[in-house]
Structure 1
Amino acid sequence: MPSDTALHQEFDRTLWQGRTDPEPDSERWHQKIQPLAEGAIPGCALLGFACDAGVARNQGRVGAADGPAALRRALAPLAWHRQGPAYDAGDVRCEGDAMEEAQQELADRLAPLLGEGHLPIVLGGGHEVAYASWSGLAQYLAASDEQAPRVGIINLDAHFDLRNPSYVRSSGTPFAQIANDCAQRSWPFQYACLGVSRAANTRALFQRAAQLNVMVREDREFDATRLTALLQDVKTFADHCDHLYLTIDLDVLPAAEAPGVSAPAARGVSLALIEPLIEAIRDSGKLRLADLAELNPGRDIDGRTARAAARLVHLLTLND
């Protein structure tokens, strides 16, 4: 059950609005999305994480708690191309600074979704969502009695988010927390961070990434001439994993494409280069869970960031 400080809000139909076309086979997301019900046929399950307490602790620009609603509104009018169903499982809401309670509530919501065969896509929320997403996946895998599962974490992000959580747990610490959790479970820690900005990460963070054997590809390594090599890097990484968890911090995109984030990127990696990587991860057959983080609608311009995020959700769900 939700705690007093991590509250669950059910499906809100008012967020799913859009045009309706008279032609046959012209449905859009708002016409096809369903509230998640017990015993539902496995499909794509959207679950919001309305929290930016981690961003506040990380001294960032707050507002990502409003991200899940904005993302749903942007996704609602997009054309429907799926074969399988899609569900809205509502939101986990963080009250005040109760980040840890909200993370636990999200994990407790994700584990049964995975057990029921759904592909959960979490709509953030600050990037503290990553530790909650991981915790839900780990909870599910631990219950399956799989021995030392090889979970590949692929983070599209301008930042490592490997800060030391012993000082303060925040949106800047989730992957350090995951590394610690893997060590406690005697599971391998397999982490790829793609789109990292050297200007936005200290030497200490690069050193920590090296110590943890993180696969690092910097933003300046992304261009059309290197895309084939980058795709091969992702494939090789996935080949050494049993399961994949994809997390997308929208600040990996250039500020012109994603102004509505906590920390806009001066350079970033364009959608045109991000999308083929996401397709490769989606089509690997190993993707178990995905989330999108840091959508801050109060800082957005003409809904650009929300539209980019909605396009990525649409892309992630096309092959089912």
Structure 2
Amino acid sequence: MSIPPAGWSGRTDGTGPEHLRWHQAVRALDSTAFPTTAPSPEQAGSASAGGDSDAGGDAHTTALVGFASDEGVRRNHGRVGAAQGPAALRSALSSLAVVDGTGSLADAGDVSVQLGDEDSPGDLEVGQAQLAQRITALLDAHDLTVVLGGGHETTYASYSGLAGSARVGSDTRIGILNLDAHFDLRQAPLPSSGTPFLQAAQDEQSAGRQFSYAVVGISEANNTRILFQTAEQLSVRWLTDEQSQTADLDAVRQFVRGFIAEVDVLYLTIDLDVLPAAVAPGVSAPAGLGVPLEVITACVQEATRSGKLALADVVELNPTLDVDGRTARTAARLIHTIVTRHQS
């Protein structure tokens, strides 16, 4: 189900470009015209539409889209609530400042997935297909697309949308950089939040492309041996959470740079459970150790400055489990960094 964009509101200090916050700059994409209509020059120059002239003075365009889905988390036996993530992320983003580099912001609304049960699974696959189609259109019309999750089942739709876009050809090497405590390479009867990267690997193989997947933050305590074996078979690269602490920052940066250097187009996915539970309590599976926020931020910075980042998503925010909006605010800051520092 498609839901129009909503939820952008916050403090207003003025209407001049020096006063703007995101809720004043975001332009809602016309749901009747979507997904094929790109912003007109008149819209791009309008302050009320989030135009470039009032949003950092450059031609950079970012599209946002939400995936209100808990079905993958439910199938993976996690704590549901991530379907409320897109609304919480918009709320946390609303009062953040428009700064140099923000560019034009457009919101394509949400794709919503019906939650099922053991006897009658929800329509996850339909929702993923719909989101993938929307992402493809957004990527073809904007410099950067950011997806607001949703459980990590969001990833299969994100990957599929990128693979179907004009950015990817038969010889294009897609790089997937996952900041996460989990591989999410599980074999299962139904797709879930634990299966998306295995699904992507299978699709890349079918397309005759090399699967390029790297993870920062893997918890050895929370991934079974079969998951490590699957990762090895697929030539996945990873750093554990113990290898990704503040003292290891230079090595983590080098790991990320080395991975990005070998791919043509980059997809960044941030599972908020990679962060310490004290920083990100509002997730399905809080971390026992986690990767410090400054290390995750450094990974994001490497991705944004590479010039290869086309798509990012932030997933597994569960507002029902959040403490004082802590996880949502952290996620919003990471999205702000992705958007404002993106280079293409």
Q: 2: distance between equivalents of 1:108 and 1:206?
A: 32
The answer as to whether partners of 1:36 and 1:45 remain within 8 angstroms in 2 is: no
State how far apart, in whole Å, the 1-side matches of 2:19 and 2:83 are: 32
Of 24, 45, 48, which residue of structure 1 is paired with 2:63? 45
Which residue identity lines up with residue 30 of structure 1 in the other structure?
H
Q: 1:63 aligns with which of 81, 99, 118?
A: 81
1:235 counterpart = 2:235: no
Match of 2:4 among 1, 10, 15: 10
Cα drift, residue 83 of structure 1: 4.3
Q: 2:126 aligns with which of 82, 94, 101?
A: 101
* Cα drift, residue 237 of structure 1: 0.7
For the residue of structure 1 that corresponds to 2:65, the secondary structure is strand
C-alpha contact 2:301 2:341 (8 A) present in aligned 1: no
1:280-304 deviations in Å (ceiling 9; x for gaps): 1011000010001100000111001
Q: 16-25 or 281-290, which moves further after superposition?
A: 16-25
* Counterpart secondary structure, 1:140: coil
Is 2:19 the partner of 1:26? yes
Instruction: State the AA in 1 paired with 2:184.
Output: D
- Count how many residue pairs are aligned between Structure 1 and Structure 2: 309
Return the TM-score normalized by structure 2: 0.87
1:145 positional shift: 7.1
Partner residue in 2 for 1:4: none
Match of 1:117 in 2: 142
> RMSD value over aligned CA atoms?
1.4
Q: Which has the higher contact order (CA 8 A, sep 6+)?
A: 1
Q: 2:201 matched to 1:179?
A: yes
- Aligned partner of 2:174 in structure 1 is 151
Partner of 1:3: none
Query: Which structure 1 residue ranges, 5 or more long, are not aligned?
Result: 1-6
Displacement, 1:222?
1.5
Cα drift, residue 56 of structure 1 = 0.3
Structure 1 segment 281-292 matched on structure 2, within 5 A: 281-292=303-314
Unaligned runs of 5+ in 2: 31-36, 45-59, 116-121
Quick one: distance in 2 between partners of 1:123 and 1:145? 22
Task: Please give the alpha-carbon distance, in whole angstroms, between the structure 1 residues aligned to 2:216 and 2:272.
Answer: 12
AA aligned opposite 1:52: D
Q: 2:246 touches 2:292 (CA, 8 Å); kept in 1?
A: no
State the TM-score, normalizing by the size of structure 1: 0.93
1:207 and 2:200 are equivalent in the alignment:
no
1:245 and 2:263 matched: no
Q: Label 1:145 to 1:214 Cα distance change in 2 as closer, same or farther (>3 A).
A: closer
Task: Provide the secondary structure at the position in 1 that maps to 2:340.
Answer: coil
CA change 1:302–1:145 in 2 (3 A) is closer
Q: SS of the residue aligned with 2:297?
A: helix
The one-letter amino acid of 2:26's match is: I
| 2:290 aligned with 1:272 | no
Give the deviation of 1:21 after TM superposition: 1.7
Please give the alpha-carbon distance, in whole angstroms, between the structure 2 residues aligned to 1:300 and 1:179: 32
Counterpart secondary structure, 2:280: coil
Aligned AA for 1:257? V
In structure 2, how many angstroms separate the alpha carbons of the residues matched to 1:209 and 1:290?
22
What secondary structure sits across from 2:242 in the alignment? Answer: helix
Distance 1:30 1:224 in 2: 34
State the 1:100 CA deviation: 0.2
Task: Describe the SS at the equivalent of 1:220.
Answer: coil
